[in-house]
Structure 1
Amino acid sequence: MKTLMRAAGLGLALTLTAAAPAALAQATPPAADTMFRATTLNLAAYGETRVEPDMAMIALGVMTEGKTADEAMTANATRMNAVIASLKKAGIAQKDIQTSGLNLNPQYRYVENQAPILTGYQVSNQVTIRVLDLKKLGGAVDATVNAGANQIQGVSFGLVDATAPENAAREAAVKALAAKADLYAKATGYRVARLVSLSEGGGYSPRPPAPMLEMAAARGFAKDVTPVQGGELTVRIDVSGLYEVTR
């Protein structure tokens, strides 16, 4: 009886051992095995389109000084209210005017071997405005300078809706990617069988602000409207794709 049980136990062990490779083979994903055996091309390309901007952002403001903090703030508020009023008069909507910076800083005079001496306070108040009619941009800037603005940080151009130029860039990117795949396939003696995967990167981003004017108050009162040229924006879409190729 003992001999018979040992034999049965041995038979069970052999059965389990034989089943293990089959289970392991079954656990391997067929798709992964197929991809491992396939010849593929992993490529990247991009598409671009150029378009005129229809929006501009500009940051400007007022800097004032006073012997006391209240004096500096009051002077700044008076001039800033005039600047905002001039923007509205120039056709800039209230929703397109946003305060982007407000700073109050003490001013000191430094003398060697002495403690700093407080001489007054400086206030800087800045707004960022969005201009949807670029023909109004130069006039709006001049109006704010005449109203008391003495700081202009820079101007950047953009698009209210970048959908159409982005889609055009996408089509160009996909065509460039397909052409590159065909080129590589032919060069290596293959032909493109199918596109396995496609991914997108990049997209439209506004042009960084460009310096426009230094201390606008130094201009005095302009006789001509300040010229502002929007030029063109480049909208770029990057794509990458995995192609399967066959003989």
Structure 2
Amino acid sequence: MRPKIEVLGEGEARVSPDMAIVTLAVLKEAPTAREAMDQNNSAMAAVIAALKEEGIAAKDLQTGGLSINPQWVYPDGKDPAEKPRITGYQVTNSLTVRVRDLAKVGGVIDRSVSLGVNQGGNIVFTNDDTAEAMSEARKDAVENAMAKAKTLAEAAGVGLGSVLRITEGGGMPAPMPMMKSMRAQGMVAEASVPIEAGENTYTVQVNVTFELVQKQGKQDDASQKDAK
């Protein structure tokens, strides 16, 4: 087998995000499931209509989940005959919104809260097209692997030959989540929610295998020893 060395190279590319993914939810409670559902439907329909008025395309609006849960009251144990009873129902409807104009993110949240959104608020800043950033990260990773291999080979007194194999590991973006939760109370403000998009980092790892070769001086010494 030919002598070889395998190294791990890491590369990254930093770019400004051009899209925000926002999760909004409406929670309504009422004595009956029908009433809770009707109230929720009305609020969510108003939210969706407002988002479309803000320029959000229909393809960028997606229902994330709908849940209907009874609200139970459990006995305190003083009366053995008393049983748990339902006092009302809770309906939650969540919506995932892709905001492609980052200047609108704060306004979208503000208006949604005004119309009934009282849960969610998670924001992830990302990029619609990551191909260029990932390409830069791959180049950086290969250069990093070659530099590592060269350092190791020089320390061992050998040279680097041809590349025998390159495999890519997990390339992953590092989005920036913000605002883990949001409640309607106190969220309606005169100005939009302040939003800072920051910067996204996309990382790539590559495994590169190089052939190792003896340097010329060492090869001549080895040949002389063999001749003796």
Structure 1 unaligned spans of 5+: 1-35
CA RMSD, Structure 1 to Structure 2 (Å): 1.3
Q: Write the distance in 2 (CA, Å) between the matches of 1:223 and 1:100.
A: 29
User: Which of 20, 29, 40 does residue 4 from structure 2 map onto?
Assistant: 40
Query: Which residue of the partner structure matches residue 68 of structure 1?
Result: 32
Q: Write the distance in 2 (CA, Å) between the matches of 1:162 and 1:220.
A: 33
Query: Which residue of the partner structure matches residue 122 of structure 2?
Result: 154
User: Which of 130, 139, 160 does residue 98 from structure 2 map onto?
Assistant: 130
Which SS does the other structure have where 1:223 is aligned?
A: coil
Whether the 8 Å contact between 1:142 and 1:226 is mirrored in structure 2 is yes
More strand by share: 2
Which SS does the other structure have where 1:57 is aligned?
A: strand
More helix by share: 1
Any idea what the Cα deviations from partners look like across 1:88-132, whole Å, max 9, x if unmatched? 112211111100010001111112233111101000001000011
Question: Percent of aligned positions with the same letter in both sequences?
Answer: 39
State TM-score, norm by structure 2.
0.88
User: Which of 72, 90, 95 does residue 59 from structure 2 map onto?
Assistant: 95
| Superposed displacement of residue 160, structure 1 | 0.5
Whether the 8 Å contact between 2:167 and 2:206 is mirrored in structure 1 is yes
Correspondences of 1:2-151 after superposition (within 5 Å): 36=1, 38-113=2-77, 114-151=82-119
Correspondences of 1:225-244 after superposition (within 5 Å): 225-244=192-211
Whether the 8 Å contact between 1:58 and 1:153 is mirrored in structure 2 is yes
Query: Which residue of the partner structure matches residue 226 of structure 2?
Result: none
Which SS does the other structure have where 1:154 is aligned?
A: strand
Whether the 8 Å contact between 1:69 and 1:120 is mirrored in structure 2 is yes
Does residue 193 of structure 1 match 2:161?
A: yes
Which SS does the other structure have where 2:120 is aligned?
A: strand
State TM-score, norm by structure 1.
0.82
Q: Write the distance in 2 (CA, Å) between the matches of 1:173 and 1:129.
A: 34
Any idea what the Cα deviations from partners look like across 1:1-54, whole Å, max 9, x if unmatched? xxxxxxxxxxxxxxxxxxxxxxxxxxxxxxxxxxx2x21111101111111111
Specify the structure having the higher radius of gyration (Cα).
1
Whether the 8 Å contact between 2:160 and 2:211 is mirrored in structure 1 is yes
Query: Which residue of the partner structure matches residue 211 of structure 1?
Result: 179
Which amino acid letter does the alignment assign opposite residue 88 of structure 1? K
Does residue 224 of structure 1 match 2:191?
A: yes
